[in-house]
Structure 1
């Protein structure tokens, strides 16, 4: 995946950001897809933060944590902050931030409990 190679070239951790990228991308493909349109992934790194943004073309479908699926539960558990904002019409942007100044949790450290999540 190009995103993982970009993280590697920046010398950043791979496991936690990779999991968040995978979950947000999967949600964009599964719940935010409009035939003939793709989603966009953007990574922005500063000295203290990695920002992951996934833009899809279903601005009318705002993701929320639900009783089925687990994608957003993982994102919520792994990210320091996450949210949704309007993108260029008809899009939305789902974003997650990770602090680079603290040790990132390993996925195995995150209790999953009951499955939940999805768009």
Structure 2
């Protein structure tokens, strides 16, 4: 099933507690927002966005958490592109893709993001950093 967002300029932003529960809620609300924008649950775009939000939110909670600080999820629809941004309060640790070890059960998150996204990266912000990924909306 193909899906395409036609609401250029649409934006969703929400802060979440930097907990595992916050990361799960970020994923659920992202999928709910995409559905409201016309991207049905179970579509390829929805599934790819779910994986990316899950991985970036988990990284924000595991590696970017600063006690007492939330992380933020932002979804923005640009011309033909869904941009997913997850911002956390820890700026000194830049995510990097590391070679995975044989038999490892973790460490694959950014490999998945890189495989699914058309582009991804990191940008500084006043407090912390933002890790972003983009998906083509036309499939």
TM-score with structure 1 length normalisation?
0.81
**Structural RMSD (CA):** 1.0
SS of the residue corresponding to residue 49 of structure 2 reads helix
| Count of aligned pairs between the two proteins | 101
- Give the corresponding residue for 2:64: 32
- Give the corresponding residue for 2:38: 11
CA distance in 2, matches of 1:86, 1:46: 21
Alignment of structure 1 residues 1-119 onto 2, 5 Å: 1-12=28-39, 13-68=45-100, 69-89=107-127, 91-101=128-138, 103=139
Structure 1 position 83, deviation (Å):
0.1
Structure 1 position 19, deviation (Å):
0.6
Moved over 4 A (4+): none
Structure 1 position 47, deviation (Å):
3.9
TM-score with structure 2 length normalisation?
0.70
CA distance in 1, matches of 2:49, 2:119: 13
CA distance in 1, matches of 2:53, 2:73: 8
CA distance in 2, matches of 1:29, 1:74: 18
Structure 1 position 14, deviation (Å):
1.1
In structure 1, the gaps of 5 or more residues are 104-119
